[in-house]
Amino acid sequence: MGEAGIPILHLYVSSVRAPTEEAERETFFSRLIDYYCRIVEQAERSNVRLATHTYNAPSRLIWNVETFGRILDAVPSPTNGVLFCTGKTQLAGDDMVETIRSYGQRIVLVHVRNVAGDYVPGTYEAEDRRELEVRFDLGDIDLLAVFRTLKEIDYRGPVFAEHYPSIVGDRVAGLAWTCGYLKALEATLGV
């Protein structure tokens, strides 16, 4: 990737359920930290930043700001970065603004989506899916606050619309509306 000039590797770990027994879970976490030590070392040599996309269910090893913070603290290299996802943060029950501030310059990529529905943040499991992907202006996430906080930390990396809804069954129209909405947020904040 480094030789090809690709500066960011998007990682998505913890999609498999973690052990429930605490000692076994800690063993798995220790192995995960070892994995990060090795992959970060290679990423540093290759001049590639990692952007880890967390899960959002307590049954996974990395699922909220606290558990991912353990990885960032154990492997403190600036190469070891965060893919900040508004949807995962909301479903995990983390405070959106404080999570952005806590990650700060470790945020490498941003995924934006909005959710609404009958879910309880911090207890979400995929098989219990009760949230809806909704238009960015209709959900539970205050996207203006998200963008304001990203501006506050001087985030200048890529922002991707993720899981945007169709408009009248048309994904292209949904994407066009979503891009327009994100551009309006940027304009509102003078980005």
Residue 2 located in a structural domain: no
Boundaries of domain holding 185 = 8-189
pLDDT at residue number 117: 84
Residue 165 located in a structural domain: yes
Nearby residues of 167 by Cβ (< 8 Å), 6 or more positions away: 173, 174, 177
Confidence grade of residue 94 (pLDDT, cut at 50, 70, 90): very high
The DSSP string of 142-191 is -HHHHHHHHHHTT--S-EEE-SPPPBTTBHHHHHHHHHHHHHHHHHHHT-
- Higher pLDDT: 8 or 127? It is 8
pLDDT single digits (tens) 98-121: 999 999 999 999 999 999 988 888
| Placement of tokens 């327009």 in the chain | 180
Residue 27 located in a structural domain: yes
Residue 111 located in a structural domain: yes
pLDDT single digits (tens) 21-48: 999 999 999 999 999 999 999 999 999 9
Q: What is the CATH number of the domain that holds 95?
A: 3.20.20.150
Q: Are strands 131-133 and 115-117 parallel, antiparallel or unpaired?
A: antiparallel
Quote the CA–CA distance of 75 and 175 in Å, as a whole number: 36
Number of domains comprising the chain: 1
Residue 96 located in a structural domain: yes
pTM for the predicted model, two decimal places: 0.93
Q: What is the mean pLDDT of the chain?
A: 92
Residue 67 located in a structural domain: yes
Residue 3 located in a structural domain: no
Token reading at 1: 């990737």
Residue 1 located in a structural domain: no
